[in-house]
Chain A
Amino acid sequence: MSGLESYINHTVSIITADGRNFIGTLKGFDQTINIIIDECHERVFSTTSGIEQIVLGLHIIRGDNIAVIGLIDETVDSRLDLANIRGEPLGPVVH
Chain B
Amino acid sequence: MLPLSLLKTAQSHPMLVELKNGETYNGHLVSCDSWMNINLRDVICTSKDGDRFWRMPECYIRGSTIKYLRIPDEVIDMVKEDAQAKSRNRTEMNKNRGGNSSQNQRGGRPGGNRNNVGNRPGQGYGGPGNNAMRLGGTAGQGNRLPHAAKNRK
A and B are interacting partners? yes
Known: A58-B73, A59-B68. Is A34-B20 also a contact (CB below 8 A)? Answer: no
A residues 7-55 touching B (CB-CB < 8 Å)? 16, 18, 27-30, 34-36, 38
CB contact under 8 A between A28 and B67, given known A38-B76, A65-B20? no
Complex interface bits, A57-95 against B, C-beta within 8 A gives 1, otherwise 0? 111111011000000000000000000000000000000
Asked whether A29 lies within 8 Å of B3 as measured between CB atoms, the reply is yes
On chain B, the residues within 8 Å of A62 by CB distance are 36, 63, 66-69
Q: What mask results when residues 8 to 28 of chain B are scored 1 for a CB within 8 Å of chain A, else 0?
A: 000000000000100000000
Count the A residues whose beta carbon is within 8 Å of the partner chain — how many?
Answer: 19
CB distance from A88 to the nearest CB of B (A): 21
Q: Measured between C-beta atoms, what is the minimum distance from B106 to chain A in Å?
A: 23
Beyond A18-B67, A65-B67, is A60–B1 a contact (Cβ under 8 Å)? no
The answer to whether B76 touches A60, judged by C-beta atoms less than 8 angstroms apart, is no
CA of A42 to CA of B71, assembled, Å: 15
Known A38-B76, A58-B76; judge A30-B67 contact (CB<8 A). no
Chain B's nearest CB lies how many Å from the CB of A22?
Answer: 8
The A/B interface has a contact count, at CB < 8 Å, of 61
Residues of B within 8 A of A64 (CB): 20, 64, 67
B143 to chain A, nearest CB (A): 19
Asked whether, in the complex, the Cβ of A34 is within 8 Å of the Cβ of B71, the reply is: no
Q: Mark B93-127, 1 if CB is under 8 A from A, else 0.
A: 00000000000000000000000000000000000
The closest CB in chain A to the CB of B6 belongs to A36
Task: Report B35 CB to chain A, min CB distance, Å.
Answer: 10
Q: Which of B1, B20, B67, B72 contacts A36 (CB 8 A)?
A: B1
Interface residues of A (CB under 8 A from B): 16, 18, 27-30, 34-36, 38, 56-62, 64-65
What are 26 A-B contacts with C-beta separation under 8 Å?
Answer: A16-B67, A27-B1, A27-B6, A28-B2, A28-B3, A28-B6, A29-B2, A29-B3, A30-B2, A34-B4, A34-B36, A35-B3, A36-B3, A36-B76, A38-B73, A57-B71, A58-B72, A58-B73, A58-B75, A59-B68, A60-B3, A60-B6, A62-B63, A62-B66, A62-B69, A64-B64
